[in-house]
Structure 1
Amino acid sequence: MNKFPFTPEGVQAKQKELSTLTLEERLKIAEYVASNPVEFISESFEMSDEQLLYLKEVELVDIRVTGFSLAIGFLGQIPVEMQDTTPPSAFAARGKKKKELSTNVSTTTNPQTGATTVTGSVGIKWTW
């Protein structure tokens, strides 16, 4: 797996990379992301030391919800947006970052074929 910049474009590139995997491979990745979101994010994206420190200090409930949301997005192949909107100079202020998470996912199963379609989006934004 490649490591991408932690930008909206980098997240899209990572998602494109994951979309080429088989369903079985995507299931394994989704399980890993849900269980280890900090590791997945830090292994998948180029981040500053400050960003990595912040990521490792996110409260357990918040990081688990983030992991489950990312797993849904990657498994269902729906758009995932993830970004840090904090300017680098703002890290010196060391205020409390806020995390915004929006998840809008729905599934539809065709009763005749049994095929399931996943639609929606996952958005995660860190900001001061």
Structure 2
Amino acid sequence: MKKFPFTPEGVQSKQKELNALSVEERLRAAENAANNPVEFISENFEMSEEQVSYLKELELVDIRVTGFILAAGFLGQVPVEMQDTTPPSAFAARGKKKKELSTNISTTTNPQTGATTVTGSVGIKWTW
């Protein structure tokens, strides 16, 4: 798979790539994102060493929640917004970043056809 810039546009492009996969392939990608989000993000997005280091230093709960949110968004094909809004020069300050994780996903199953519809959105944002 192609690596994309770690920008809102890059995340949208990655999601388009994932959405084009079969259900089985999307499930594997979602499982990978859920089980190891740091590896998934760093393998699929162009990031600075500081950004990768920050991801690796997240607390376990943050890492797991991030992975589950990404997996739900990618598997359900709902819009995923993921970005680091920290200016590169601010990395020198090395303070704690504020993390914002949000998810709004719902599923509806048609009892007559058995078809399931997934709607909602996913957001992951890191800022100083």
- TM-score range, shorter-chain basis? over 0.9
Deviation at residue 98 of structure 1 after TM alignment: 1.3
Taking only the aligned residue pairs, the percentage that are identical comes to: 84
Structure 2 residue matching 1:10: 3-state secondary structure? helix
1:82 corresponds in structure 2 to 82
The number of residues matched between the two structures is: 128
Tell me how far apart the structure 2 counterparts of residues 51 and 29 of structure 1 sit (CA, whole Å): 22
2:6 corresponds in structure 1 to 6
Report matched runs for 1:30-45 at 5 Å: 30-45=30-45
Spell out structure 1 runs of 4+ moving beyond 3 A.
none
In the alignment, does 2:25 pair up with 1:25? Answer: yes
In the alignment, does 2:99 pair up with 1:99? Answer: yes
Structure 2 residue matching 1:112: 3-state secondary structure? coil
Contiguous gaps of at least 5 residues in structure 1: none
CA RMSD in angstroms, aligned pairs only = 0.4
Tell me how far apart the structure 2 counterparts of residues 29 and 94 of structure 1 sit (CA, whole Å): 32
1:46 corresponds in structure 2 to 46
Tell me how far apart the structure 2 counterparts of residues 62 and 29 of structure 1 sit (CA, whole Å): 19
What TM-score do you get using the length of structure 1 for normalisation? 0.99
1:122 corresponds in structure 2 to 122
